[in-house]
């Protein structure tokens, strides 16, 4: 069945770039997402990418998609202590496929050290 | 918009008691999802509804769990009887199927502790 894999932990120093990686199995995925969860809060959508795109940039965030390898990454430039959170990768089969269901990875806990 | 509203935010109960968690989705959304999050198992999808109809409840752990969506603006997740292993954070999320790229918007969660 569909599956999304992520590494569980990442530690970086403030000011460095962070790269969080994700692999997925559903080749029919239409959209891929990155969600952020801060302590004690729900998941918040950070960004998404359509499957026919290779890259999407949004301020400090860069999403790269390698559809051939089913690999998605999120790069955070100039990482700040406020970026410390759990980051979830998710995939959707889009319209008429999964009927709106998303498959989430287990999340990568990003720790930013001053 | 107020976003997805969940109540209560925290619930502490004793084993064997009935627990009801409530969710109000974003107005105009037609899909609603219930998730459970624990340290051990991560984020698990329990059940989801499209247009108030349950589509997939394969994630509901046992018959002790039930969910209803009587109308487009309200859903409940009930656990009866509750057990200590049900302790978790329960999230509700909503989306508009076929619009907004299936983006799900999450509520703040209900932290359930069963003693």
Tell me, yes or no, if A104 comes closer than 8 A to chain B by beta carbon.
yes
Q: Do residues A36 and A86 touch, judged by C-beta distance below 8 A? A: yes
Contacts of B103 in chain A (CB under 8 A): 33, 45, 48
- For residues A55-84, give the mean pLDDT: 95
CA dist B35 and B98 (Å) reads 21
| pLDDT attached to residue B56 | 87
User: Which chain A residue has the Cα nearest residue B98?
Assistant: A95
Tell me, yes or no, if A9 comes closer than 8 A to chain B by beta carbon.
no
- Distance (Å) from the alpha carbon of B37 to chain A's nearest alpha carbon: 10
Tell me, yes or no, if A42 comes closer than 8 A to chain B by beta carbon.
yes
Does the distance separating the beta carbons of B107 and A104 come in below 8 Å?
no
Contacts of B106 in chain A (CB under 8 A): 35, 42-44
Contacts of A29 in chain B (CB under 8 A): none
CA dist B111 and B113 (Å) reads 7
Q: How many CA atoms lie within 13 A of B58 on its CB side?
A: 3
Local confidence pLDDT in tens for the 115 residues of chain B: 689 999 999 999 999 999 999 999 999 999 999 999 998 888 889 999 999 999 889 889 889 999 999 999 999 999 999 999 999 999 999 998 766 667 889 999 999 999 9
Contacts of B97 in chain A (CB under 8 A): 99-100
Express each pLDDT in A4-52 by its tens digit. Answer: 999 999 999 999 999 999 999 877 777 899 999 999 899 999 999 988 8
B46-A21-A92-A60 Cα dihedral, nearest 10 degrees = 110
Specify the 3-state DSSP secondary structure of B8.
coil
- Distance (Å) from the alpha carbon of B40 to chain A's nearest alpha carbon: 10
């Amino acid at each position: 069945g569909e599956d999304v894999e992520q590494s569980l932990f990442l530690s970086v120093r403030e000011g460095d770039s962070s790269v969080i990686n994700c692999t997925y199995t559903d080749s029919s995925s239409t959209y891929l997402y990155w969600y952020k969860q801060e302590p004690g809060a729900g998941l918040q959508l950070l960004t998404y990418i359509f499957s026919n795109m290779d890259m999407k940039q949004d301020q400090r965030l860069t999403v790269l998609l390698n559809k051939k390898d089913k690999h998605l990454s999120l790069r955070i430039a100039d990482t700040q202590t406020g970026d410390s959170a759990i980051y979830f990768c998710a995939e959707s089969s889009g319209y008429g496929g999964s009927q709106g269901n998303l498959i989430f990875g287990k999340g990568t806990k990003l720790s930013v050290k001053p | 918009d107020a976003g997805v509203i969940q109540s209560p935010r925290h619930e502490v109960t004793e084993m064997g008691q009935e627990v009801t968690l409530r969710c109000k989705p974003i107005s105009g959304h037609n899909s609603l999802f219930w998730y459970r999050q624990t340290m051990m198992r991560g984020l698990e999808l329990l059940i989801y509804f499209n247009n108030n109809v349950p589509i997939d409840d394969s994630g509901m752990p046992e018959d002790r769990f039930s969910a209803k969506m009587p109308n487009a603006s309200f859903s409940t997740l009930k656990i009866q009887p509750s057990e200590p292993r049900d302790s978790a954070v329960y999230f509700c999320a909503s989306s508009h199927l076929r619009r907004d790229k299936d983006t799900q918007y999450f509520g703040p969660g209900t932290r359930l502790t069963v003693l």
